[in-house]
Amino acid sequence: MHINVIRNVIIGLFILMALDLFYIQVICGGYFYRQSESNSIRVIPFEGKRGRILDRNGNVLADNEKNFCVALLPQDIRDKRDVFRFLSGALNLGTAELETRYKKNRLTAFSPVIVAWDISRQQAILVEENAYQYPGLLVMERFRRHYPEGAAGAHVVGYVGRANEEKMREIEAYGYSADDPVGYSGVEEYYDDDLRGAPGGRQIQVNSRGQQVRLLSVREPSEGRDLVLTIDKDIQEAAHQAMAGRKGAVVVLDPANGEVLALVSSPAFDPNDFSSRDDRTQAGAYLKDASSPLLNRAVSAQFPPGSVFKVAVASGGLQERKITPETSFDCPGYFDLGNHRYKFPHAFGSQDLIQAIAHSANEYFFHIGLAIGPDMIAHYASLFALGERTGVDLPYEAKGTIPRHAAFRQWFRGDTVNMSIGQGYVLATPIQLARLMAIVENEGRIPLLHIKKSLGGVEKQFISGSTRVAVLRPEVWSVLKNGLHQVVQMDNGTAHVLDLPGFEIYGKTGTAQAGVGKADHASFAGVVKTPGHTLVFVLLLENGGSSANACLAAKDMLLDLQTRGKL
Backbone angles phi and psi of 340, in degrees to 5: -105, 135
pTM: 0.85
181/362 Cα distance (integer angstroms): 52
Contact 429, 394 (CB under 8 A): no
90/263 Cα distance (integer angstroms): 45
Give pLDDT tens digits along the chain (567 positions).
567 667 766 777 777 777 666 666 666 655 555 445 445 666 666 677 899 999 999 999 999 988 888 888 887 788 888 888 998 888 888 888 888 888 887 766 567 788 888 888 899 889 888 888 888 888 888 888 999 999 999 999 999 987 666 665 565 555 555 567 889 999 999 999 999 887 666 666 666 555 556 656 666 667 899 999 999 999 999 999 999 999 999 999 999 999 999 999 999 999 999 987 666 678 889 989 999 999 999 999 999 999 999 999 999 999 999 999 999 999 999 999 999 999 999 999 999 999 999 999 999 999 999 999 999 999 999 999 999 999 999 999 999 999 998 888 899 999 999 999 999 999 999 999 999 999 999 999 999 999 999 998 877 655 444 568 999 999 999 999 999 999 999 999 999 999 999 999 999 999 999 988 999 999 999 999 999 899 999 999 999 999 999 999 999 999 999 999 999
**Short-list 261, 231, 262, CA closest to 249:** 262
State the DSSP string of 285-304.
Answer: HHHH-TT-TTS-TTTT--B-
SS3 of residue 446 by DSSP: coil
**How many C-alpha atoms does 127 have within 13 Å on its Cβ side?**
30
- Virtual CA dihedral for 365, 366, 370, 371, nearest 10 degrees? -40
Model pLDDT, residue 474? 97
H or E segment at 115? strand 113-119
Preceding amide of 447 cis, omega within 30:
no
Contact 545, 519 (CB under 8 A): yes
396/301 Cα distance (integer angstroms): 10
SS3 of residue 150 by DSSP: helix
Contact 377, 425 (CB under 8 A): no
The CB-based long-range contact list for 391-394 (8 Å cut-off, 24+ gap) reads 391/448, 391/449, 391/450, 392/260, 392/299, 392/431, 392/449, 392/450, 392/451, 393/187, 393/190, 393/191, 393/450, 393/451, 393/452, 394/156, 394/186, 394/187, 394/190, 394/263, 394/296, 394/299, 394/451
SS3 of residue 346 by DSSP: coil
Handedness of CA 365, 368, 372, 376 (dihedral sign): negative
Model pLDDT, residue 47? 72
Backbone angles phi and psi of 351, in degrees to 5: -135, 135
Model pLDDT, residue 476? 98
343/272 Cα distance (integer angstroms): 49
Portions of the chain given CATH number 3.40.710.10: 233-272+292-563
Angle at 367 between CA 380 and CA 370, to 5 degrees: 60
- Virtual CA dihedral for 173, 176, 182, 187, nearest 10 degrees? -60
**The CATH homologous superfamily of the domain defined by 233-272+292-563:** DD-peptidase/beta-lactamase superfamily (3.40.710.10)
Q: Name the architecture of domain 42-225.
A: Alpha-Beta Complex (3.90)
Portions of the chain given CATH number 3.90.1310.10: 42-225
State the DSSP string of 506-537.
Answer: EEEEEEE---TTSPPEEEEEEEEEETTEEEEE
